[in-house]
Amino acid sequence: MKTINKSMLLLGLFTLVLQSCTHEIYVDPLAASKAAYENADAVNGAKLFSNFQNIEAGWPLDAAGWPDVTAAADPTINIKDIATYTAQTGVTTPVPAPQANRNFYACAGCHAVDGMGRDGTGISKKTAANQPQMAASHLRDTRGWDPVKLFDAIKGVGGRQIDPTKTVNGLDLTLGGQTHPDFSKILTDDKIWDLVKWLKEGVDNTNGDLYSMSTVGAFTVPQTTIAPYALYDNTKMGSDGDYAAGVAFYTAKCVVCHAFDGLGTTNSNGPVLIAGQTNGTTSAGSGPAGPAPTTKMYGVGAYMRYKTADGVFLIQSGKFGTIPWMAATPINQQEMKDLLKAFSDKARFPDATVKRANP
C-alpha cells in the first residue's frame, strides 16, 4: 500500500512539473514580424522607394509589361491607373507627362532620393499639377525606429484614398494629394517589409560620411517657382574612404559599361547631366546665382560629383528603363565611401563636355 501511495505521489509531482513547464513556454508575439524583416530585401525596397511600379520589384506582369491588374494588395486597385496620368473631371490643368501620377504614390515623390524632402535634394522641386509638395519630415530619422513601428507607418491603413482622380494636382490641397497614401491597398506586406529594410539598412548619408551637401535659399509653400537649390562639396566625397579600394570596386563592377575614365564604352555612354546642371539641384535661370553653367557635362564621374545623392541611390536601386539596363549593385557603406573617394578624382574621372560617340 505504501509503495502504491509513493508511486501515486511521484506521478502527481511529475504531472505538476509538466504542467508548470508548459505554462512557462514563451511565444514571442513579434516572431512573425521579426522573421519578415529578416527575410526582406533592401535592394528591392530601394526600387520600390523611387518607382513603386518597377517591374524588377517582383510584381507579376501583364502582357504589356505592367504589374498585373491583380498584383496590388487590394485586387480592385490597378497599379497602372495610379502610375499614369488620368484627367480630372471639371479641372483644367496642363496635361502632365506620362506616369506623372506616380509622384503622388512613390516615396521619392515627396521625400526625395535622399529621404530629406524639402531640406535635402527636394529643396528645388517645384510643386505643380503633377508634383506634390516636398515633405518636411526626414526619413533618415527612421533608421532608429523599431521595424514594426516603421512597417505600420508605411502601410498607412486608413490613409489617403487610392484614387487617381484625386491626386493629380499638387496645388489643390482639397484633393488630398499631399497626405500619405494608404499603401495597404497597393503594396503587399512583403514589399512593405522590403521598404522597411531599405530605410533601416540601405546605404545613405545619415552620418554625413558619404558627402557634404548644403542648401541655398528657403523652400516656400507652395513652391511654384524654383528658387532654392542644393550644392555638393566635392572635396569631401567619401570622407575617410579608401581611394585604391574604390578604384578596385569600380574596375570590378562598373568599368564594363562606364569605361576606365567613366565616360562610357561603345555600349554605354554613361549618365549625362542636363544642360545647365553641374552641381546639386541648381540650374541656369532657376533662381539665386549659383554654379549653373550652361555646358553639358558627361560621364559618371561628373554625375557622382554633382548629383551625388542621386548617384548613391541609383547605384543601389539600379536605373529602370535605361538602355542598356543599369542593374542594382550590391554595396555596403564602406564600399560606397571608397567608391565616392575614387570619383572625387577628376583626373581619373574627368568632367567631359563632349559625349563619347557610339559607333
DSSP per-residue string spanning 53-67 = T-TTSS--B-TTSSB
Give counts: helices (H), strands (E), the chain. Answer: 12, 4
Per-residue pLDDT of the chain (359 residues; tens, 9 = 90+): 445 555 655 555 555 554 555 556 777 778 899 999 999 999 999 999 988 887 788 888 877 777 787 788 998 888 877 877 544 444 444 444 445 577 888 899 899 999 999 999 888 888 887 788 899 989 888 999 999 999 999 998 888 888 766 666 788 777 777 788 899 999 999 999 999 999 999 998 988 899 998 888 888 888 887 778 888 888 889 988 999 999 999 999 999 889 999 988 876 677 877 666 667 766 443 434 445 455 778 889 989 998 899 999 999 998 876 556 788 889 999 999 999 999 999 999 998 887 777 65
CA distance 359 to 356: 10
Tell me the whole-structure pTM to 2 decimals. Answer: 0.84
CA distance 147 to 33: 8
Amino acid at residue number 238: G
CA distance 122 to 154: 20
Torsion of CA 19, 21, 24, 25, to 10 degrees: -110
Q: Alpha helices, DSSP H only, in 128-219?
A: 147-155, 189-201
Triad 214, 216, 222: Cα angle to 5°: 120
